Amino acid sequence: MTTTDEPRFVKVDYGDPVQAEHLVTMLDDYARDPTGGGEPLSVFVRENLVATLDRTPGAFSILGYLGDTPVAIANCFETLSTFACRPLVNVHDLAVAPGYRGRGLGRHLLGAIEREARALGACRITLEVLEGNAPARCAYSHAGYLPYALDAAMGTALFLQRTLD
């Protein structure tokens, strides 16, 4: 990237209708991508997500822009590391728009998340990544993200889920 197209990252003001629209549009684009599941957001999610994030304690979102164009998004949640008795930040969604990948925007977005986490006094940042998403895994590795293990003999942590209807 040249200096004329330096990315700009903002912590989303959920009350700002332009930022709210950008957040939903970016998340919908991510959801439609194979790395996001390949399905659009439901009408319910599109209509309720921003208000729900706004009233969720510890939720924050970061949008990345090139000029006025939103090109990256992260939805994060401050929670607690019980072992450290300090905040930690979990990155729940992180995406760069398909036409803007490979330009270092993910690295810059991770930097913006780290700055926010440090401002919160967080002891670490956690995230999950699909095993087959090699570009993201490589980017996370280069940014210092490693598999989580407490004891080498016990192996690394697995991210599991149980869907509730």
pLDDT in tens, 17-61: 999 999 999 999 999 999 999 999 999 999 999 999 999 999 999
Question: Can you give the residue range of the structural domain that contains 135?
Answer: 3-154
Cα R_g (the chain), whole angstroms: 16
* Per-residue exposure over 128-143, b if at least 16 CB sit within 10 Å of its own CB, e if not: ebeeeeeebeebbeee
User: How many domains does the chain fold into?
Assistant: 1
CATH of the domain at 93: 3.40.630.30
DSSP string covering 119-140: HTT-S-EEE---TT-HHHHHHH
Residue 107 lies in a domain: yes
Residue 39 lies in a domain: yes
Each residue of 104-121: pLDDT tens digit?
999 999 999 999 999 999
DSSP letter at 104 equals: S
Residue 42 lies in a domain: yes
Residue 164 lies in a domain: no
Residue 80 lies in a domain: yes
Residue 82 lies in a domain: yes
Residue 102 lies in a domain: yes
Over 70: is that where the pLDDT of 81 sits?
yes
Average pLDDT of the segment spanning 93-101? 95
Backbone angles phi, psi at 125, to 5 degrees: -120, 135
Residue 53 lies in a domain: yes
